Amino acid sequence: MRPVGLRIATLFAVLPALAACGLQQSVSDTCPQPGTSTAPAIDAATVTGSRFSWTSVHGHPVVIDFWGSWCAPCRAEQADVNRLYAEYAPRGVVFLGVDMRDDNASAAAFERDYGVAYPSVNDSASQISAAYDVTAPPTLIVVDAQGTIVHRCLGTVAGVSADLDHLI
């Protein structure tokens, strides 16, 4: 029989993993229908220090990628988002990252390490995330050329290509 202390230590080592599994949403819940809500305007400083203005995207479909450098699923998904960017940016789709709860140095390192080619704005205070009702990254939001949110997905790029094909 194992000592009680070892059992307790094992329990505390396993509990976080089990809790994380319990927090996972089912695949059917990852892309709830967004309704017909208007996308809040984003006017903010980018990670590189320039300024992003929502007026610059008027008349274009937009993919907003909510991410964080500390987010393992964001790192895993970034190659898929980069492929979407490579396919759809030349066709007029604007991509914007929203870096959640990070400092600019960590965000810049993420962009460099994962080859993020589109601009990202800093959302260290979670104001943009709150305006879009995004509680966790990675979340992708697709906005049509009229500014209506047409797709919202947590942790997947599934369905985004079909929406973009429809919008352009």
Q: Is residue 62 part of a domain?
A: yes
Q: Is residue 7 part of a domain?
A: no
How many distinct structural domains can be found in the chain?
1
Say what the pLDDT of residue 158 is.
87
Say what the pLDDT of residue 99 is.
97
Reported pTM: 0.79
Q: Is residue 134 part of a domain?
A: yes
Q: Is residue 37 part of a domain?
A: yes
Task: Render each residue's pLDDT in the chain as its tens digit; 168 residues.
Answer: 455 444 444 434 333 333 332 333 433 344 545 556 899 999 999 999 999 999 999 999 999 999 999 999 999 999 999 999 999 999 999 999 999 999 999 999 999 999 999 999 999 899 999 999 999 999 999 999 999 999 998 988 988 988 898 999
Written as one string, the DSSP assignment of the chain is ---HHHHHHHHHHHHHHHHHHHHPPPGGGSS---TTPBPPP-EEEBTTS-EEEGGGGTTS-EEEEEE-TT-HHHHHHHHHHHHHHHHHGGGT-EEEEEEES--HHHHHHHHHHTT--S-EEEETT-HHHHHTT--SSSEEEEE-TTSBEEEEEES--TTHHHHHHHH-
| Domain carrying residue 74 | 26-167
Q: Is residue 147 part of a domain?
A: yes
The CATH number of residue 103's host domain is: 3.40.30.10
Q: Is residue 9 part of a domain?
A: no
Q: Is residue 10 part of a domain?
A: no
Q: Is residue 110 part of a domain?
A: yes
Say what the pLDDT of residue 39 is.
96
Say what the pLDDT of residue 31 is.
54
